[in-house]
Structure 1
Amino acid sequence: MLELPEDEFWFFEGFRPALSSLSVEPPAFLHEMAFVNLYAAFDGFVSDLLRARLQRHPQMMGGERQLRYEEIFGAPNKEALLERMIEREVRDVMYQALTDVLATFRGRFGMTKLGSSRDAEAQRIALTRNCLLHNAGLVDSRLARVAPERPVGERIVIGHTEMSDACNVLRKLAYEIDRADQGFAAG
């Protein structure tokens, strides 16, 4: 239980209803923040892994990109230019839906050992995170398409169970991605 000196407790009178129930269950927004933070950690892991892979194998960026003269002449050296190209590639890949990111990993980036059994649930987690951040915590049409039991406009409630399930899915998927990346590096 959170303890405050009596004068501070009365100063924060607006928090009294929340304080009285903290010993039972934390406020819902803490689970929502943790859920968003969990996905941010997963997203950061995937971005960092992709960046490291492109640094080791820059030829994987393919030949579709074009550079402007100012980008070439503005770079202090070849390494800096390559880093800019890698950052742009990472940003473009990571901007896609998670299922498309994973498909790109399997196809273009050669992670053929990466299974797809967790894709649908991971995409649902990604869309839930997007709704929490960008849709005032309400289900949007994209989330409703992958989770038909959740109607558009319904308030998303993240509890301990949802948080734990999301953590397990993303942890296992991160492990599988890491193993697929190691398999590529060894092969």
Structure 2
Amino acid sequence: MLFKEDRTDSGEPVREGLFQYERELRKDQETIDDLRTMRCTDHFLTYISQLLGLLFVENPHMLAQSNSEYRLKDVMRHPDMNAFLRHAAESEVRSLSYKGMRELYRDLKSKFGFRIFEDAGDLNFAVEAVAIRNLLVHNNGVIDSRFAAEVPKYAEDEGERVHHIKVGHIENFFVLAAVGIDKRAREKWGLPVGTLLVPHNCHRFDSLGEIESER
């Protein structure tokens, strides 16, 4: 025998217990993949919000390019200019966060000359991943007309549940994308280096090498 068939105290074969566990795990795999997809996408979106917040705090003059208008009473509500600038930065980040990924890409490119993604294929993949995340959260993963319009390759699957989610690919993509975005943003605006925590914790980080060394 290649494997000794050990038994539990009750006489149940250990291997049979492992097989049963694997069968149950496979049944839950779709749910696990859904959760991983939602979580890693949320982490990336949180990272983008953190980066934008830091950008406006470090470079408050950029708020003038946001097209947001504030009345005098909005300014006077705050004890000093720094408090107002923090408030304005938070408002701007909130406004940008409500945009879709493609619209956010266009907005940052036109206003600040910064491309979140340098490659059109990367942008399209991010748009699809965020759309899948939204579909899982808001429609239990069932493809509707809005999702089909945003991701045309699913147009013929309307009414069915989204399938074949490449969760590992999505996770790796967002980690590497965030590393590249952080590096380019620091070079462009002289932002401070982030923490050395892995990006899954929603913190800014420095480089892929340092991420690997922390694991």
Whether these two folds match at TM > 0.5 is: yes
SS at match of 1:30: helix
Identity within the alignment, %? 21
- Secondary structure of the residue aligned to 1:62 is helix
Conserved in 1, the CA contact under 8 Å of 2:142 and 2:160? yes
Match in the other structure for 1:71: 74
- Structure 1 residue 101 displacement after superposition: 1.3
CA distance in 1 between partners of 2:114 and 2:181 (Å): 8
Query: Shift of residue 19 of structure 1?
Result: 5.7
- CA distance, structure 1, for counterparts of residue 31 and residue 164 of structure 2: 8
- The RMSD of aligned alpha carbons is 2.7
Distance 2:47 2:41 in 1: 10
Deviations 1:106-127 (A, max 9, x none): 3322325951330001000000
CA drift at 1:88: 0.8
State the partner residue of 1:174: 178
Structure 1 pair 80–91 and aligned structure 2 pair: CA distance change class (3 A): same
* Structure 2 unaligned spans of 5+: 1-9, 11-19, 191-215
Could you tell me the TM-score, scaled by structure 1's length? Answer: 0.78
Note the 1:115-154 alignment, pairs <5 A.
Answer: 115-117=118-120, 118-145=122-149, 146-150=151-155, 151-154=157-160
Amino acid at match of 1:45: Y
User: Alpha-carbon deviation of 1:77?
Assistant: 2.0
Structure 2 partner of 1:62: 64
Query: C-alpha displacement at 1:133, in angstroms?
Result: 0.6
| 3-state DSSP of counterpart to 1:111 | coil
What secondary structure is seen at the aligned counterpart in 2 of 1:138? Answer: coil
Corresponding residue of 1:44: 46
Query: Computing the radius of gyration over CA atoms, which structure comes out larger, 1 or 2?
Result: 2
Greater mean alpha carbon deviation, residues 57-66 or residues 120-129: 57-66
**Could you tell me the TM-score, scaled by structure 2's length?**
0.68
Amino acid at match of 1:130: N
Deviations 1:91-115 (A, max 9, x none): 1111111012122233322325951
Gaps of 5+ in 1: 1-5, 7-17
> Is the partner of 2:112 in helix, strand or coil?
coil
Q: Of 29, 34, 38, which residue of structure 2 is paired with 1:32?
A: 34
Partner residue in 1 for 2:114: 111
Letter in 1 for 2:125: E
CA contact (8 A) 2:143 2:159 kept: yes
Per-residue CA shift, 1:1-35, capped at 9, x if unaligned?
Answer: xxxxx9xxxxxxxxxxx967235464421221111
Distance of 2:69 and 2:116 partners within structure 1: 31
The number of aligned residues is 169
Deviates more, 1:145-154 or 1:33-42: 145-154
**Structure with higher RCO (Cα < 8 A, 6+ apart):** 1
How big is the shift at 1:76? 2.3
Contact map agreement 1:124 1:147 (CA 8 A) in 2: no
